[in-house]
Amino acid sequence: PDWVPQVRDNVMQLEREFTFKNFKQAWAFSNQVAELAEAEFHHPSILLEWGKVTVTWWTHAINGLHKNDFICAAKTDALLK
């Protein structure tokens, strides 16, 4: 599944689930996303579970989606390559 627009508390967000074969791999990916967030000065929510990471991008300042969120979503995908 690709990035999916979600409305949560009236805020449009861009969300994607990434699956992994164990916790350690999911954990490593969540750290890569956190590093990306710090590098971009833009912070998604990162939900780490066993074998799964859910990343959600949106722009707090506008309570919605900005072009930058789509760029960060693409950069998140690129971490896997």
From residue 12, give the alpha-carbon distance in Å to each of 17, 24, 60, 80: 17, 30, 10, 25
Contact status: 76 vs a second copy (CB under 8 A) = no
Looking at beta carbons only, is 19 or 31 nearer to a second copy? 31
SS3 80: coil
Q: Report the distance separating Cα 34 and Cα 30, nearest Å.
A: 6
Contacts (CB under 8 A) with a second copy, residues 28-67: 30-31, 34, 37-38, 43, 45-50, 60
Q: Please say which residue, 3 or 58, places its beta carbon nearer to a second copy.
A: 58
Which stretches of the chain bind a second copy, using CB under 8 A?
23-24, 27, 30-31, 34, 37-38, 43, 45-50, 60
